[in-house]
Amino acid sequence: MNNKMTRDEVLDAFGAAAAWPTEALVREWAKKYPEYERDLVDFATAWAATVALPIEALDLQREDELVNRTMSRVQMLVREQHQPTQAPPSGETAVAANRLQIDSLEQALRARGVTSPWIEVLGIDEFILELLEDHMIAPPMPRRLLDALSQSLGVHIEAVRAWLFQESMPQVVSYSAKKPTFERWTFQQAVEKSSLPDALKQQWLRETADP
Amino acid sequence: MNADLEQPDSEAAAAPSARRPEVQAAIDVLTRLERPQLIDRLRAAARQKKLSPEVLLHFAREASSSGDREIFFLAFEGLTRCATPMIANQMRNLYGISEADLDDHLSVVFENLVRRIQRDDPTLEYGVRFFHSFILRRSIDAMKAKDHPWARRFKKALGALRKECGKQTKRYDGDGECAPTAVDARILSQAEDPAERAAGQEELAQVEQRLAGLPEDACEAYMQARALGRTQAEIAEHFGVSDRTVRNWLDRVTKALDERTAP
């Protein structure tokens, strides 16, 4: 881990610094991390409001319903984690299965219980995810990202490649006689334009591209 | 606030190691139990909310690392029971989430927590320190990541802020049960007088009604001034408005809060 804390690290550490936010706490942290002052104040306001609100007990039946549903999902996640790793399907089978299953990368990730912040699970931000979603990043791409997507989605890496690098089909109508062309981004360009912290950007840019 | 608390080791970007003494004491007591006794305690805690969420999170982590599924599920169920009313209140009162979306929201928040536990994410140590703010962060992240129609609604919180939250906190003494913070106690406690709770809700609803015509930014600005001691200049900068606008907002909110609802 580097010495410069990310926004999420700062906010998590801030939240762990006291039982509730006070003027002194907010001033101290805003002074220490002026670049995140707005985020700190926004979070502290929501935090203070939550602390102020009385906690209404849930109707027991409703609480049971919510807890049981959560626990069923948790059991499924834990079972998935402990299942022995299956031999990866052949590229062709995986691609065929993938075409049927993935309409949206984000929805597919969520369906597998992988939730944002994406920086924590995939090392990318919303901007890069959107470009991936629209098939707007051209190969090559770092192997680490392909592996992370493959693992999170539970599909073969070839299926991930096939999905990401399929032709982009922008939903626009062109009245031009010429076929419109859409320039794809390189992964490096996407990283440079992203809101990732500098250290993470540098790490991606250093990594060997997917062969 | 507990004056003994140390700030996290933020400079090195490392997770804080200092746990609250009462949390660590409860963990130590439970760790010394034989496994069957620990299971009994966790089972009782899951239903009666007798252990603090920080303690339950610690045992969920430990059990996940050692592969003890029974203890993991018991600790996690206790955690879910503690956190669900808190998240539900926050999302209903502050962000106006629908009941259908609440189900979905809770599943995203708890899946996030499970995945952090599974990979033994170092940020969990923040949750063992103060679970309330830790889960609040996860809830806000989940809310922003989804397409639920949500909007800030600080009016009810202002009403609550105006009243002193002097509710009695249940003591958790000895035998592994700790004395929680006021916030934890409110999350854990289900034993408040229903009549008192209903009266409090009615009063909050009246305050919310009096504030109804005011912009949300005005209410949030008041919250920043009152709860966080932000100056008018700081608030103006935060919202990108003039000092005069902030003054006007604060005056209007103060006036609305001081009004009495006609009998």
Domain edges within chain A: 7-52, 58-86, 90-206
Give residue A3's pLDDT.
59
B115 Cβ contact partners less than 8 Å away, ≥ 6 residues apart: A77, A113, A114, A115, A121
Q: Does B150 touch chain A (CB under 8 A)?
A: no
Nearest Cα neighbor of A16 from B193, B211, B124 is: B124
The count of C-alpha atoms lying within 13 angstroms of the C-alpha of A60, restricted to the half-sphere facing its C-beta, is 5
Please judge whether B73 and A45 are an interchain contact, meaning their C-beta atoms are less than 8 angstroms apart. Answer: no
Inter-chain CB proximity A16 and B110 less than 8 Å: no
- Whether B4 is in a domain gets the answer no
| B41 in any annotated domain | yes
- Reply yes or no on whether the pLDDT at A1 is more than 60: no
Instruction: For chain A, say whether B223 makes contact (Cβ under 8 Å).
Output: yes
Pairs from A181-189 (Cβ < 8 Å, separation ≥ 24): A182/A136, A184/A135, A184/A136, A184/A137, A184/A138, A185/A131, A185/A136, A185/A137, A185/A138, A186/A137, A186/A138, A187/A137, A187/A138, A187/A140, A187/A141, A187/A142, A187/A145
Q: What are A91-123's pLDDT values in tens digits?
A: 444 444 444 356 677 777 766 667 667 777 788
For chains A and B, count residue pairs whose Cβ atoms are closer than 8 Å. 210
DSSP category for residue A61: H
| Cβ-based contacts of B42 with chain A (< 8 Å) | none
Q: Say yes or no for a CB contact (<8 Å) between B111 and A32.
A: no
How far is residue B134's CA from residue B98's CA, in Å, rounded to a whole number?
23
Does B263 reside within a domain?
A: no
Minimum distance, in Å, between the CA of residue A115 and any CA atom of chain B? 6
Within a domain: residue B222?
A: yes
Same-domain status, B209 and B85: no
Look up the CATH number of the domain holding residue B225: 1.10.10.10
More confident of the two residues A125 and B202 = A125
Q: Do B197 and A54 touch (CB under 8 A)?
A: yes
Predicted confidence at residue A148, as pLDDT, reads 84
Structure tokens at A68: 């049981």
B224·A77 Cβ contact <8 A: no
Are B124 and B214 within one domain?
no
Q: What confidence tier does B149 reach under pLDDT thresholds 50, 70, 90? A: low
Out of B10, B76, B137, the one facing A15 most closely (by C-beta) is: B137
Distance from CA of A83 to the nearest CA of B (A): 13
The reply to whether B240 and B216 lie within a common domain is yes
Task: Determine, yes or no, domain membership for B155.
Answer: no
Provide the pLDDT for residue A111. 62
Q: Which of A34-48, A89-103, B83-97 has the highest mean pLDDT?
A: A34-48
What confidence category does residue B66 fall into, taking pLDDT thresholds of 50, 70 and 90?
Answer: very high
Q: What are phi and psi of A45, to 5 degrees?
A: -65, -45
Q: Which of A125-139, B2-16, B167-181, B198-212 has the highest mean pLDDT?
A: A125-139
Q: How many domains does chain B have?
A: 2
Tell me the DSSP string of B199-257.
HHHHHHHHHHHHTTTS-HHHHHHHHHHHHH---HHHHHHHHT--HHHHHHHHHHHHHHH
Is the distance from CB of B224 to CB of B235 less than 8 angstroms?
yes
Residue B42 shares a structural domain with residue B118:
yes
Smallest Cβ–Cβ distance between B130 and the set A19, A67, A75 belongs to A19
The answer to whether B139 contacts chain A (CB < 8 Å) is no
- When pLDDT is averaged across residues A110-137 and rounded to a whole number, the result is 80
- Counting Cα atoms < 13 Å in the Cβ hemisphere of A19 gives 16
Tens of pLDDT along A138-174? 888 888 888 888 777 767 777 778 788 776 544 444 4
How much is the ipTM here?
0.80
Q: Given pLDDT bands bounded at 50, 70 and 90, which one contains residue B224? A: very high
Q: Is A137 helix (H, G, I), strand (E, B) or coil?
A: strand
Would residue B239 count as lying in a domain?
yes
Partners of residue A10 in chain B, C-beta under 8 Å:
10
Q: Does B15 reside within a domain?
A: no
Contact A58 B156 (CB under 8 A): no
Residue with the larger pLDDT of the pair B128 and A134: B128
Residues B179 and B210 in one domain: no
* Strand, helix or coil for residue A28: helix
Which helix (H) or strand (E) segment is B13 a member of?
none
Q: Is residue B235 part of a domain?
A: yes
Cβ(B128)–Cβ(B58) under 8 Å? yes
Q: Which sign does the torsion angle of CA B60, B65, B69, B71 carry?
A: negative
The string of DSSP codes covering B101-147 is HHHHHHHHHHHHHHHHHHTT-TTHHHHHH-HHHHHHHHHHHHHHHS-
Q: Is the pTM of this model over 0.80?
A: no
Long-range Cβ contact pairs of B192-198 (< 8 A, separation 24 or more): B192/A57, B192/B167, B197/A54, B197/A56, B197/A57
Write out chain B residues lying below 8 Å of A152, CB-based: none
Token duo for residue B149 = 């129609």
Range of the domain at B216: 198-258
Instruction: Let me know: does B52 contact B184? Beta carbons within 8 Å.
Output: yes
Q: Reduced to 3 states, what is the DSSP secondary structure of residue A169?
A: coil
| Dist CA B84 CA B88 (whole Å) | 6
- Asked whether the beta carbons of B138 and B109 are under 8 A apart, the reply is yes
Q: Does the pLDDT value for residue B194 go beyond 70? A: no
DSSP lists the bridge partners of residue A185 as A137
